[in-house]
């Protein structure tokens, strides 16, 4: 789309023009992508960040020297004059300055709104408590394997606005609840909520509110892809909308079925790929693959190419990633499991009991949701981080537990407990920010500590 069409679309759908007083809230990667986009469109804006020196402050000063930048707090005047707020996902909408500005009439927008106005290419939108990065990456590989130039991003990798390119034929966006709660004009060609389990309870009122924000991915009239195994998601279906379903339990839609002694991923009666051909393990990854096949079918991708992409997909780093096998013990990095549902899904993928390393910042979640899976699948748990005590209290001695200070100590303790043939699983069920910059750093330190065992 050329600049004139984008400008007209933004003006019509978002009431945004050169006379608007736009305030970009948050100067991380998303905020900087918004700044670049608005500058390209010739739309003036200002930026505010509560930090003294945001990560991209220097780049902002260099690339946009004439743009007002307010740092070290939320400048009251900047919010009072704003007609539009474009708030980065990492910033809570409950901030006083934001709430007051909205009450005074400021319109709330997101980078996804801008993106939706700036492309006429097909968009697939993926959200859910768990698995969305895996499904997004699977679908990206399927698109490119089908000779469709496919770009993936959003909550994963590049911000959505940085993906815009005239050569792209299909966009696949991973979207978080924080992105969706401030997005109003996205009309994806196909969309899914993979699952809903308790997460981000420090930012959402309750799980009902959280699910409501996830459901916004279905705004518009595109194909709905529904997980029939999740009652919360299954209740989101809308009458008179094109619908695909997936399930690892029910024999309908995209599902798992046994034929002549082998499990197959099916589309109705069409056998697509054997479960044994998938390069990733666990029933949760079968569900992810079925969701990706359903979305790819909705996007018109080639069946053979989609299945070939699944055969080659080895999984994501920090997501059920096998780090190594040392003295007969398998070590698995699932640091991306930052909520209860992800940890439960990881545990349920095992036939034999594992040693679980968990803990961190529970984000306000009730850790009792871990109890059944831990009792069934864990030999013992090694707990670390701010909310280790919450987990220990929740499991109430159903399996032995050990408290440690950090990930290095957790690996040492797990090594003492593990026996030949067993697995040690880092699947924290918590965010990392109490001790580490990110789940990636936590996973990297876990891997490094495991490698030290070899030395």
User: Judging by DSSP bridges, how do beta strands 262-267 and 254-259 pair with one another?
Assistant: antiparallel
- Please confirm, yes or no, whether 227 is among the known catalytic residues: no
**What percentage of the chain carries pLDDT values higher than 90?**
83
Whether 332 shows a pLDDT value over 70: the answer reads: yes
Could you tell me which CATH number the domain at 20-109 has? 3.40.50.720
Catalytic (active site) residue 155: yes
Q: Is the separation of the CB atoms in 446 and 411 below 8 Å?
A: yes
Query: Across all residues in the chain, what is the average pLDDT?
Result: 93
Which of 306, 34, 13 lies closest to 170, judged by CA? 306
Domain boundaries, the chain: 20-109, 114-312, 321-454
Q: Are 84 and 150 in contact (CB under 8 A)?
A: no
pLDDT at 418: 96
Q: How far is CA 200 from the centre of its chain?
A: 12
CATH class given for the domain over 114-312: alpha beta
**253-271 tens-digit pLDDT:** 999 999 889 999 999 999 9
Top CATH class, 321-454: alpha beta
Measured between alpha carbons, how far is 196 from 373 in angstroms, rounded to an integer?
A: 17
For the stretch 48-82, pLDDT in tens is: 999 999 989 999 999 999 999 999 999 889 999 99
pLDDT for position 449: 96
Q: What pLDDT score was predicted for residue 130?
A: 87
Catalytic residue of the set 84, 107, 144, 155: 155
Range in 91-105, 195-209, 284-298, 353-367 the model is least confident about:
195-209
446, containing H or E segment: helix 439-454
Residue 314 has pLDDT above 80, yes or no: yes
Predicted confidence (pLDDT) at residue 276 exceeds the cutoff of 70: yes
**277: which DSSP letter?**
G
- Predicted local distance difference test score (pLDDT) of residue 206: 73
- Count other Cβ atoms within 10 Å, centred on residue 165: 12
pLDDT reported for residue 204: 57
pLDDT at 315: 83
Q: Which residues contact 148 (CB under 8 A, 6 or more apart)?
A: 169, 170, 299, 301
Give me the pLDDT at residue 349, please: 82
- Angle at which helix 283-298 crosses helix 340-348, to 10 degrees, equals 110
What integer is the mean pLDDT of 269-275? 96
**Which among 84, 107, 132, 445 is annotated as catalytic?**
132
Q: Which of 107, 130, 144, 200 is catalytic?
A: 200
**Secondary structure class of 168 (helix, strand, coil):** coil
Q: Which two tokens stand for residue 91?
A: 């910033």
Its pTM stands at 0.84
If we measure between CA atoms, which residue out of 110, 112, 163, 107 comes closest to residue 140?
A: 163
Query: Is 132 designated active site?
Result: yes
């Amino acid at each position: 789309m050329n600049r004139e069409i984008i400008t007209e679309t933004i003006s019509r759908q978002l009431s945004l023009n050169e006379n608007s007083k736009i305030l970009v809230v948050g100067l991380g990667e998303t905020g900087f992508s918004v700044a670049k986009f608005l500058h390209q469109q010739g739309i003036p804006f200002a930026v505010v960040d509560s930090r003294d020196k945001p990560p991209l402050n220097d780049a902002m000063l260099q690339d946009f020297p004439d743009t007002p930048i307010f740092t070290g707090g939320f400048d009251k005047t900047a919010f009072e004059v704003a007609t539009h707020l474009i708030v980065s996902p990492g910033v809570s909408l409950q901030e006083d300055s934001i709430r007051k500005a909205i009450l005074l009439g400021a319109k709330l927008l997101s980078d996804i709104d801008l993106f939706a106005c700036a492309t006429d290419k097909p968009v697939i939108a993926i959200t859910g408590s768990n698995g969305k990065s895996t499904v997004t990456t699977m679908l990206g590989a399927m698109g490119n394997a089908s000779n469709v130039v496919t770009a993936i991003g959003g909550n994963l990798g590049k911000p959505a606005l940085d993906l815009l390119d005239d050569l792209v034929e299909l966009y696949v966006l991973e979207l978080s609840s924080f992105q969706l709660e401030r997005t109003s004009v996205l009309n994806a060609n196909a969309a899914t909520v993979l699952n809903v389990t308790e997460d981000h309870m420090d930012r959402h009122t309750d799980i009902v509110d959280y699910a409501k924000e996830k459901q916004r991915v279905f705004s518009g009239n595109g194909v709905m892809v529904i997980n029939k195994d999740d009652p919360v998601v299954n209740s989101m279906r809308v009458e008179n909308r094109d619908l695909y379903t997936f399930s690892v339990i029910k024999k309908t839609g995209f599902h798992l079925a046994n034929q002549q002694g082998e499990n197959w991923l099916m589309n109705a009666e069409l056998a697509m790929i054997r479960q044994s051909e998938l390069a990733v393990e666990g029933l949760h990854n079968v569900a992810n693959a079925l969701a990706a096949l359903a979305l790819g079918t909705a996007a018109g991708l080639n069946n053979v190419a989609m299945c070939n992409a699944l055969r080659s997909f080895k999984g994501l780093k920090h997501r059920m990633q096998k780090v190594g096998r040392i003295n007969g013990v398998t070590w698995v990095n699932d640091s991306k499991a930052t909520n209860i549902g992800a940890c439960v899904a990881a545990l349920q993928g095992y036939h034999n009991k594992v040693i679980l390393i968990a803990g961190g910042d529970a984000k306000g979640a009730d850790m009792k949701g871990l109890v059944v899976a831990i009792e069934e699948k864990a030999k013992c748990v090694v707990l670390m981080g701010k909310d280790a005590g919450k987990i220990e209290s929740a499991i109430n001695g159903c399996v032995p537990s050990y408290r440690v200070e950090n990930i290095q100590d957790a690996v040492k303790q797990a090594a003492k407990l593990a026996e030949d043939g067993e697995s040690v699983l880092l699947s924290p069920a918590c965010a990392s920010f109490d001790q580490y910059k990110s789940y990636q750093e936590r996973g990297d330190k876990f891997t490094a500590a495991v490698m030290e065992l070899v030395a």
